[in-house]
Amino acid sequence: MWSDNSTTEQKHVKYLCRFVQVWYKGQTTGPGGRFFVYKAVQSSRLYERIIEQIEESILKGSLKTGDQLPAERELAQQFGVSRTAVREAVKALREKGLVEAYSGRGTFVTNGTSQAIRHSLDLMTRINQQDGLAHLVEVREILEPEIAAMAAIRMDRQQPLANMREAVAVMDRALKDLDAYIEADLGFHLALAEAAQNPIILSLIDSIVGLLREQRARIFYVEGGPERGQFHHKRILQALEQRDPERSRDAMRAHLQQVREDSRVSTSTPDATSAKSIS
C-alpha cells in the first residue's frame, strides 16, 4: 500500500518503477545548433578522449538531439588533434548510435537511447517471434495509462499539448490516408510521453510504438478503425487539457483496449496484409 504521505505524482513514479529498469547514458531531447568549445586532448588514442568529451556534452544536455556538430576541421582545431582522429571519433559515435552523418549536411546528434532500446527489443521479438510482439503490447498497456496520468500532473508548458492537438487535427483530415494518419498517430503518443518529462519514458515509448508499427498495420483497414482511434485520442487530449490524471489514465486504457480489439478483428481481414500500423 502507498503511504498516506505520498503525493499522487510519487505514486505514479513508484508504479512505473516497478516495471521499468533501464540503464541509459546520454539521453537527449530537442533540436538546435550550437558552438561548443572542447579541451585539447593528450593520449596515445586521441579519438577515445574526443569521444568521452562529446559523450559528456550529450550526457549533460549541452548537446541535444538534432544539434549539429562543428565541422571536422573545427573539431580538430578545438581538440588540438588531427582530422584523422576526429574522423575515427565520429565513426565510433555513429556506431554507438549517438550521431548520424548526412552527406552535404553534416553530423547531427541522434537519440542514441531510443535506438539502443529499439535494437534490443527488436532482437528479443525476433528471437521469440510467437509471443514477442504480444509482450510488447502488454508492456504498452502497463506503461501508457500511467504515463498519461503522469503527464496530466507534470505538464508545465503548452508545446506537448499543441503537438497533440496538431496530431489530432492531421488525423481528422487523414482518415483515408494511411501514411499521414500513422505519422500523426505516432506523433500524438510521443508528444504525450514527452509531457511526462522523463527521458527514459520517452525513449521507451518511441521504441515500443516504432516496433509495433508493422505488427498492428491492419487496424487502419478495419471498418471504423481510424474513427474509433480518433474518438479515443480526443478523449485523452481533453482529459490532459483539464489536467485530470484519473481521466487521462482511464481514457488511455480505453484506447488501448480498442486497439487490442481492432487488432483481433484485423487478423481475419485479408485485404490488410500490406498495411502499416496505427497506434
Q: For 232-265, write each residue's pLDDT tens digit.
A: 999 999 999 999 999 999 999 999 999 888 877 8
pLDDT digit string, tens, across residues 85-101:
999 999 888 877 788 88
**Could you tell me if 59 and 143 lie in one domain?**
no
Last residue of a domain, which of 61, 84, 110?
Answer: 110
**Could you tell me if 227 and 165 lie in one domain?**
yes
The CATH number of the domain holding residue 85 is 1.10.10.10
Q: How far is CA 170 from CA 48, 164, 182, 210, in A?
A: 45, 10, 10, 19
**Could you tell me if 69 and 185 lie in one domain?**
no
**Could you tell me if 91 and 218 lie in one domain?**
no
**Could you tell me if 72 and 157 lie in one domain?**
no
Cα–Cα distance measured from residue 26 to residue 225, given in angstroms and rounded to the nearest whole number: 38
Cα–Cα distance measured from residue 129 to residue 215, given in angstroms and rounded to the nearest whole number: 11
Q: Which residues contact 72 (CB under 8 A, 6 or more apart)?
A: 83, 86, 87, 90
Query: Which of these ranges, 33-37, 71-75, 154-158, 159-163, has the smallest mean pLDDT?
Result: 33-37
Cα–Cα distance measured from residue 213 to residue 79, given in angstroms and rounded to the nearest whole number: 42
State the angle between helix axes of 129-154 and 225-241 in degrees (0 to 180), rounded to the nearest 10.
30
pLDDT digit string, tens, across residues 173-217:
999 888 888 888 888 998 999 999 988 888 788 877 766 666 566
3 state SS for 224-242: CHHHHHHHHHHHHHHHHHC
Q: Say how many C-beta atoms besides its own lie within 10 A of residue 232's C-beta.
A: 18
In a domain, 85, yes or no: yes
Last residue of a domain, which of 63, 83, 110?
Answer: 110
pLDDT digit string, tens, across residues 104-123:
788 888 866 666 666 666 65
Q: With contact defined as beta carbons under 8 Å apart, do 146 and 12 qualify?
A: yes
| Model pLDDT, residue 269 | 57
In a domain, 106, yes or no: yes
Last residue of a domain, which of 94, 110, 126?
Answer: 110
Q: With contact defined as beta carbons under 8 Å apart, do 217 and 260 qualify?
A: no
State the angle between helix axes of 129-154 and 245-266 in degrees (0 to 180), rounded to the nearest 10.
160
Q: How many domains would you assign to the chain? A: 2
The DSSP symbol for 217 reads G
**Could you tell me if 88 and 146 lie in one domain?**
no
Q: How far is CA 125 from CA 134, 149, 250, in A?
A: 9, 28, 28
Grid coordinates belonging to 15:
508504479
32 compared with 187, residue with greater pLDDT: 187
Cα angle: 188, vertex 191, 197; to 5 degrees: 150
**Could you tell me if 268 and 252 lie in one domain?**
yes
Q: Containing domain of residue 186, as a range?
A: 114-272
Q: How confident is the model over 59-63, as a mean pLDDT?
A: 77
**Could you tell me if 120 and 240 lie in one domain?**
yes
In a domain, 190, yes or no: yes
**Could you tell me if 119 and 241 lie in one domain?**
yes
Grid coordinates belonging to 29:
531531447
Q: Is the pTM of this model over 0.85?
A: no
Classified as helix, coil or strand, 70 is coil
